Amino acid sequence: MLHPTAGPMNDQLNRRQFALRAAQTAAVAPAAPRALASGATEAASASNWGDLTGRFVYDGSPPPRKKLTVDKDVECCGKFDIRDESLMVDADGGLANVYVYLRGRKVDVCPELAASVEKNVVLDNRDCIFMPHCMKIWTTEQELKIVNSDPVAQNVAFSPLGDKPANIVLPAPPDKAATATWRFSRAQRRPLPVVCNYHPWEIAYILPLDHPYCDVSRKDGAFRIAKLPPGRHEFQVWHERPGYLETPDWKGGRFTMTIRPGTNDLGTIRLAPSLFPNEP
């Protein structure tokens, strides 16, 4: 496990170095589960699958989001109020960008879920930041579409363990090369940092998995992993500041739960501010 330091890191280089170290130490995930053919088993019935839900709450007053130094392409990027996105808490305490995902053994994938998945996952360079800040991708079924929506050149770079690295230059639109695609061939055990070598404040995270059973908490802190196979499963919880989100009940940021058909609600999960270092 990679633990970020608890002390403040006041320059963006340290943030990028932390992100790159996380990529270099991430372990490759186990082999993929299989999608069942429609009607293959009794479990393939839509009513036999379960959803895992919950809501993360930051149990305290969050620190103000730091304004980041914008010193490249200032004529474009300098007009945006670009702030740190590593701890996003809404007015009601909802904590965004927490990953919850299935780990460990192979499982069957709900055919209905497999048939409905979007074929492209979009990462947009817009307003001189990455949008979205945190995302997931199903490696066998989805392709990453990378877009530059800014009037300046952008760059997208990441280094998954056991897979080919990316260092993609995206010229400003309307150049056709302002859009690119990427296919991951290996799943990862933890989210992968994405950086822009032109703009050091830009950072995002993507989690390549060989199954669709993952969600990232939304602005209000809520998440839902849909159509899980019934049975006892182990889940991983990760956030960019602490890494694996370890609590007294979640050793290594993991928990096990028996999934039953219908909704399986964890309720409100309150997280102490002490779990989150001042900076990633």
Give the per-residue pLDDT at 47.
79
- Render pLDDT for 238-266 as a digit per residue (tens, 0 to 9): 999 999 999 999 999 999 999 999 999 99
Give the per-residue pLDDT at 46.
64
Return the sign of the alpha-carbon dihedral for residues 104, 194, 147, 149.
Answer: positive
Q: What is the C-alpha separation between 35 and 59, in angstroms, rounded?
A: 39
Give the per-residue pLDDT at 278.
80
Give the per-residue pLDDT at 42.
45
Return the sign of the alpha-carbon dihedral for residues 175, 145, 147, 199.
Answer: negative
- According to DSSP, residue 95 is labeled B
- The predicted model gives 87-93 an average pLDDT of 98
Give the per-residue pLDDT at 80.
98
Q: Assess whether pLDDT exceeds 50 at residue 181.
A: yes
Q: Assess whether pLDDT exceeds 90 at residue 197.
A: yes
**Those residues with Cβ within 8 angstroms of residue 116's Cβ, 6 or more apart along the chain or in another chain:** none
Q: What percent of the chain has pLDDT over 90?
A: 80
Strand pairing report for 108-109 and 34-35 = parallel
Nearest Cα neighbor of 265 from 222, 220, 219 is 222
Neighbours of 200 (CB within 10 A): 18
pLDDT grade, residue 2 (50/70/90)?
A: very low
Three-class SS of residue 83?
strand
For residue 72, what are its two tokens?
A: 């490249």
- Share the mean pLDDT of the chain: 88
- According to DSSP, residue 261 is labeled S
**Those residues with Cβ within 8 angstroms of residue 264's Cβ, 6 or more apart along the chain or in another chain:** 50, 51, 52, 53, 228, 257
Nearest Cα neighbor of 52 from 211, 253, 234 is 234
pLDDT grade, residue 33 (50/70/90)?
A: low
Rounded to 5 degrees, φ, ψ at 59 are -90, 65
Which of 15-29, 81-95, 240-254 bottoms out in mean pLDDT, i.e. has the lowest? 15-29
pLDDT grade, residue 22 (50/70/90)?
A: very low
Give the per-residue pLDDT at 45.
62
What pTM was estimated for this model as a whole?
0.86
- Render pLDDT for 52-74 as a digit per residue (tens, 0 to 9): 999 999 999 999 999 999 999 99
Cβ(253)–Cβ(235) below 8 Å: no
pLDDT grade, residue 104 (50/70/90)?
A: confident
Which of 24-33, 81-90, 122-131, 209-218 bottoms out in mean pLDDT, i.e. has the lowest? 24-33
Q: Which residues pair with 145 in a beta bridge?
A: 122, 181
- Render pLDDT for 151-171 as a digit per residue (tens, 0 to 9): 999 999 999 999 999 999 999
Q: What is the C-alpha separation between 132 and 258, in angstroms, rounded?
A: 31
| Domains, the chain, with CATH or none | 12-275 (2.60.40.420)
For residue 262, what are its two tokens?
A: 């219908």
Q: Assess whether pLDDT exceeds 90 at residue 175.
A: yes
Q: What is the C-alpha separation between 216 and 119, in angstroms, rounded?
A: 18
Q: What is the C-alpha separation between 266 and 270, in angstroms, rounded?
A: 11
For residue 77, what are its two tokens?
A: 């990027």
Q: What is the C-alpha separation between 104 and 193, in angstroms, rounded?
A: 22
